[in-house]
């Protein structure tokens, strides 16, 4: 059980087909165990295909379409990775707007592995301290981020990690930032 109680706090998980399954299920379970209420938001409706690396994993049911989602209804946002998931998600205008709204409302956002690609296309990464899967470092730096190779980086409510091996640290910081609430430095 988490040391952080986030009872009743609503957490949006933004993803699509190709999500790295454990990067969804591990933080999702951490949020639930800490008393939070996770919601799966996607540009796609119906079911999404998760992956374990390159192998198909579970399917997940979408709770809310990104075009109908309102950041004001949530306390935090989680953007899992997976190359296909992140690449398709980052070009969706509704997903971009939804992500950007969390920064505009100073709410915690957590993104792991390839997930930070969304932060580039949402226009919220310039000047921020982040990490990610190592292949994204040039993209993030070119977008104005300060990229470092660390297990987890926290910058004013923005939590980022590199890969599934970092999930324990990622989940702990995600819950800590949700418990702390809004951060004045979390801006678009």
Q: Choose between 1 and 75: higher pLDDT.
A: 75
Q: Determine contact, residues 158/128, Cβ cutoff 8 Å.
A: yes
Reported as a single tens digit per residue, the pLDDT across 124-168 is 999 999 999 999 999 999 999 999 999 999 999 999 999 999 999
Topology (CATH level 3) of domain 10-180: Rossmann fold (3.40.50)
Query: pLDDT > 90: what percent of the chain?
Result: 94
Separation in Å, CA 27 to CA 6, 115, 116: 13, 13, 16
Which residues are tagged catalytic? 113-114
Q: In angstroms, how far is CA 135 from the centroid of its own chain?
A: 18
Q: Taking 80 as the threshold, does the pLDDT of residue 79 lie above it?
A: yes
DSSP character at residue 185: T
pTM of the full structure: 0.97
Reported as a single tens digit per residue, the pLDDT across 85-122 is 999 999 999 999 999 999 999 999 999 999 999 999 99
Please identify which residue in the block is written with the tokens 């899967």.
133
Half-sphere exposure of residue 170: CA atoms within 13 angstroms, side-chain side: 31
């Amino acid at each position: 059980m988490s040391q952080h109680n986030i009872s009743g706090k609503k957490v949006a998980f933004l993803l699509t087909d190709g999500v790295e399954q454990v990067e969804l299920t591990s933080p999702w379970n951490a949020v639930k165990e800490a008393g939070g209420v996770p919601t799966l938001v996607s540009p796609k409706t119906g079911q999404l295909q998760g992956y374990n690396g390159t192998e198909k994993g579970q399917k997940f049911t979408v709770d809310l379409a990104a075009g109908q989602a309102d950041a004001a209804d949530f306390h935090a946002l989680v953007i899992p990775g997976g190359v296909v998931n992140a690449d398709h998600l980052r070009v969706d205008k509704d997903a971009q707007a939804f992500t950007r709204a969390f920064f505009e409302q100073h709410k915690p956002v957590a993104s792991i592995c390839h997930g930070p690609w969304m932060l580039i296309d949402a226009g919220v990464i310039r000047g921020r301290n982040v990490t990610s899967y190592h292949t994204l470092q040039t993209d993030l730096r070119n977008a104005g981020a300060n990229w470092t190779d660390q297990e987890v980086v926290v910058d004013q409510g923005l939590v980022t990690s590199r890969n599934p091996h970092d999930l324990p640290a990622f989940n702990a910081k995600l819950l800590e930032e949700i418990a702390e609430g809004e951060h004045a430095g979390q801006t678009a």
